[in-house]
Structure 1
Amino acid sequence: MTIDTQTAVTGSRPAATGDDRLTGRAKLVLFVLCAAQFMVALDFSVLNVALPVLGEDLGLSRSALQWAVTAFALPSGGFLLLFGRVADLYGRKRMFLTGLALFGSASLLATLAWDPASFLAGRALQGLGAAVIVPTGMSLLTTTFPEGPLRDKALGISGTLLSLGFTVGMLLGGVLTDTLGWRSTMGLLALAAAVVLVLAPGLLPESRTPERPRLDVPGAVTVTGGLLALIYSLSTAAQRGFGGADVRITLAAGLALLVAFVVAESKSPAPLVSLPMLRRRTVAWGNIGGLVTFSTMSTVVFVLTLYLQETLHLSSFRTGLVFGVQGAASVLAGSYAPRVIGRFGARRTLVGSLFGQGALTGALLAVGSGSGALVATVAVSLASMFHLGAIISYGLTVTSGVPDEEQGLATGLVTTTQQVGLTIGIPLLGVLATTGASLFDGVRTVLAIDALIVVSAAVLVGLGLRGRSRG
């Protein structure tokens, strides 16, 4: 997704007052855009605590539970760049409304699912709708609110709600599953999409890039196909090994398509991803740090959900409370992160946060098969504080020193890294917890690998950014 800072806006902007305060209409526009982003963030987490109950109801085996998450994450990450560019061409408001309609309909299908196939189809269509909503919603926000204090305020509110969406999803998932059943978690999303879809048409201005850039079809096809094939092959291999012909074929196809994507982007006059931008050390290493923190923390949440419910036999509600404490820690971290970054710089904060997240993830190895809820609560809460520090600092690292005319490209890469990170973590690591003879041993294995990856990334990112000016 490319956010062009020089876009023209068709329709009226919700003007600011002279002192850059939001007008009444601007607040309504911001509410609609943030509500849509909050809804997508909610979808990443609201189902997590319901997975054991859902699997028993629909007949999904323990090893297949990760597909309830992966079916959503694959299209939401794989199609993000494509739909961001399509919105640039054909109108962001139009695509935003289309994404909302698709997301709401898919949520209804998942609510009414009668077997695993219908449920996973609903989840995949939800992910496709999210791939439209995320880039178009962000583009509408940056083109509706002028650059400066007003946009900074809008982006700050949006970012806070995105973080809270994940936490609130865990809490709501536990409450709804215990009281109304797992289907209510999907019904809530269908209702939320309907409300936003009713409010949005009369509030949002239409916008598109004035130069009408060409759609990079070769880039879109190769990156989308490559990501889908690669994640499918690795997810399947984690369950069945690399002996299957489908695994080998899709793995080879995925790698070949991603190589073809790099070649296509080097020749495209309007690439989805700017290769010169990726050659900047801050952009490359910053995004690597972001990719690692998103993918590994989502894996931790997935495997701990299974551990708390299936090993410690906590209810969905109590499991939600564990992650509610994590959410409170995230809010606390969000209030202090700007001060830490102001003192030490974004790059040093990124490296330090990765080390902290890795160390606390390693501390989770202290949990036992007979007890450990308290250890899990404290460790995951502290790890989430470092996780949020890494999220904030990696975005600032990526965009620091980038010329104004290229800020849109840099911001687009930040968003893409977030979505791809959420996509790859659970299928590549989380599945290891569900395919062994013992869930408890599988969880410990995943946590050990997860911690090693984060600490290794901290070392590499630190070396990659070494010698750069503080920022």
Structure 2
Amino acid sequence: MVEEAVAAPSPRGSLRPGVILALVCGAQFMVTLDIAIVNVALPSIQADLGLKQADLQWVVITYGLMLGGLLLLGGRAGDLLGRRRVLLAGLGLFTAASLTAGLAESFVQLVLSRGAQGVGAALTAPAALAILAGTFPEGPARNKALGVFGGVGASAASVGVVISGALTAGPGWAWIFYINVPVGLGLVALMVKYIPADERIRRGKFDVGGAVTVTGGLLAVVYAINKSVDYGWTSTTTLGFLAAGLAVIVIFVVIEHRSSAPLMPPRMFRVPTLNAANLVAGLAFAAFFATIFQASLLMQQVLGYSALRTGVAYLSMAVTAVVVSAGPAPRLLVRLGAGWTLVIGQSSSAIGMLLLARVPADAAYWTDLFPGFVLVGVGVGLSVVAAQVAAFIGIDKNVSGLAGGMVETAREIGGALGTAIVASVAIATARQVQGTGMPGPTAFTEGFQRGSLVATGFNVAGALAALIVLRRAERSARARWEAS
């Protein structure tokens, strides 16, 4: 039992809202950037640390699973312990873990550091958003600030792969982590100066059991998916970890039903629009993060791209996603609603994935990769914004923060699970093809193609969920609003 923190009152004139907005956006950009920044560096990390192909996905998904699994607990910690305290603690842990990741000389040290980064990010992100909401009064000022904050988050993952290429090709892969150290320390110092201190606290509870079980269960399921490549789906190892993971997730559900302060209140799952938004967000990012993971390896290990060239190659996807999320996405939302915007976005991504599923082992960038990258960028730009808007349809203001946090959780967990599934399918296919005597580049390309088809399935499922579930929920919400 702890007490709930309340920010110390500060005269409005002593606050510097613009500075606070810049600081929390900087924190959000950094923790979101690290979801994708490792992808281009994976071949270099593999060569330096002597990793197996199946080990590479853990460098990516460990961060996403810890961030997604602990995000809601991080938000609760900010409510109870103080938003600034938790923000500073999260940034401090994230910065320290970035240093140990850069210094890593083994697979275990790197993965543990990535996990610690994820914990730090799970504390940082919700506290930053809460501080922003508390700094700007409700209305146009807050809406504008939230728009800037959301735009920063939406662009960070795409920009991450470009920065990764430049740093890996320059000072080396360790600098994708080292760069966080001076930035993190600078943000902490400025936040201590400009963000008002937390004052008194009130009593409240943590749902630590829920956070631990959902994260542990997901890790066990992902480990089972990973081991299916080596041992097969019917092996004792694979089935044992899969059963254990599912059992722990069932325990999580039981805890949530019995807890007086659940991490995910069961009543939230009775809101159709929120369920659909969570589902589509998870599927969209499952395909997106898996594609970045796969394409980074394809470009460097098959097509012979350097890390820098790989990063530059992603500019088409990154720029498209940023431009679409800032321009067409808001206009489509006004004219068509979140449901149809998500249908269009997921359909665009699905077409892009199908194009990528046809790339040959000697693919040319402009004819084979560029069209698919642009269409995926369009899909991501539309889907990120629309899923966030969909999450708030029919949601009471008192739980709007929780709804937003659940969508963010779905995105991170979906991205981690999608990467694990697609990577396992791709690796298994490549091994099977290589076993028939085909050369490595051809086998790897066929694995990429099969993985891209799986990612396409995620997008198709996302489009159907938006069309069938979300559109119906939108119509019901509109009818209730007109009746009132």
Kept after mapping to 2: 8 A contact 1:89/1:208: no
Equivalent position to 2:338, from 337, 346, 350: 346
Q: CA deviation at 1:188?
A: 0.7
Kept in 1, the 8 Å contact 2:67–2:122? The answer is yes
Whether 2:399 is the aligned partner of 1:406: answer yes
- Counterpart position of 1:357: 349
TM-fit CA distance, 1:234: 2.1
Unpaired segments of 5 or more residues in structure 2?
432-442, 479-484
- How far residue 210 of structure 1 moved from its aligned partner, in angstroms, is 6.4
Counterpart mapping for 1:284-303 below 5 A: 284-303=275-294
Deviation of 1:468 (Å):
3.5
1:398 counterpart letter in structure 2 = A
SS in 2 for 1:212: strand
Using the TM superposition, name which of 370-379 and 301-310 deviates more: 370-379
The residue number in structure 2 matching 1:391 is 384
Question: What is residue 436 of structure 2 aligned with on the other side?
Answer: none
What do the CA deviations read for 1:87-143 (whole angstroms, capped 9, x no partner)? 222112111111111111111111112222222222221122112112222222222
Provide the residue aligned with 1:226 in structure 2.
217
Instruction: State the AA in 1 paired with 2:394.
Output: G
Shift of 1:232: 2.3
When structure 1 is superposed on structure 2, of 314-323 and 376-385 the one drifting more is 376-385
The aligned amino acid for 2:264 is V
Q: 1:124 to 1:280 in 2, by over 3 A?
A: same
The answer to whether the 8 Å contact 2:29/2:156 transfers is: yes
> How many angstroms apart in 2 are the aligned matches of 1:251 and 1:77?
19
Q: Which residue is equivalent to 1:108?
A: 99
Q: Distance in 1 between matches of 2:278 and 2:10?
A: 32
Q: Give the alignment of 1:137-176 within 5 angstroms.
A: 137-176=128-167
Number of the residue aligned with 1:237: 228
User: What is the deviation of 1:358?
Assistant: 1.1
Q: Displacement, 1:80?
A: 1.8
44, 49, 57: which is aligned to 1:58?
49
**1:415 alignment partner, one of 392, 408, 431:** 408
Supply the AA of the counterpart residue of 1:58: L
Q: Relative to structure 1, is the Cα distance of residues 382 and 286 closer, same or farther in structure 2, using a 3 angstrom cutoff?
A: same
Instruction: Give the structure 1 partner of residue 482 of structure 2.
Output: none
User: What is the identity, as a one-letter code, of the residue corresponding to 1:252?
Assistant: A
- Specify the alignment match of 2:116 in structure 1: 125
2:391 is paired with a residue whose SS is helix
Change (3 A) 1:43 1:449: same
Q: Is the 8 A contact 2:209 2:255 kept in 1?
A: yes
How far apart are 1:320 and its partner, in Å? Answer: 0.6
- Alpha-carbon spacing, 1:72–1:8, altered in 2? closer, same or farther (3 Å): closer
CA distance in 2, matches of 1:88, 1:424: 29
Partner residue of 2:470 out of 448, 454, 465: 465
What amino acid maps onto 1:458 in structure 2?
Answer: A
Which has the higher mean CA deviation after the structures are superposed, 205-214 or 30-39? 205-214
Assess if the C-alpha contact under 8 Å between 1:357 and 1:384 holds in 2: yes
State the alpha-carbon separation in 2 of the partners of residues 457 and 109 from structure 1: 37
* 8 Å Cα contact 2:81/2:201 also seen in 1: no
Deviation at 1:207, TM superposition (A): 4.8
Identity fraction in percent: 33
What letter corresponds to residue 7 of structure 2 in structure 1?
A: T
Judge which range, 98-107 or 198-207, deviates more: 198-207
Could you tell me which of 398, 403, 419 is aligned with 1:426? 419
Unaligned runs of at least 5 residues, structure 1 = 1-6, 17-22
- Equivalent-residue separation in structure 1 for 2:447 and 2:460 (angstroms): 20
Q: How many corresponding residue pairs?
A: 459
The 1:390–1:402 alpha-carbon spacing in structure 2 relative to 1, beyond 3 Å, is same
Report which stretch shifted further, 30-39 or 141-150: 141-150
Q: Given residue 416 of structure 2, which amino acid in structure 1 is its aligned partner? A: T
From 80, 93, 109, the counterpart of 1:89: 80
Range moving further from structure 2, 252-261 or 149-158: 252-261
Task: Give the aligned residue type for 2:332.
Answer: V
Is the 2:357–2:452 contact (alpha carbons within 8 Å) kept by the matching residues of 1?
Answer: yes
Mapped to 2, the partners of 1:201 and 1:35 lie a distance apart of 14
* CA distance in 2 between partners of 1:347 and 1:277 (Å): 19
Query: What amino acid does structure 1 have at the position aligned with 2:342?
Result: L
User: 2-side partners of 1:59 and 1:12: how far apart?
Assistant: 54
CA contact (8 A) 2:209 2:252 kept: yes
Contact 1:14 1:145 in 2 (8 A): no
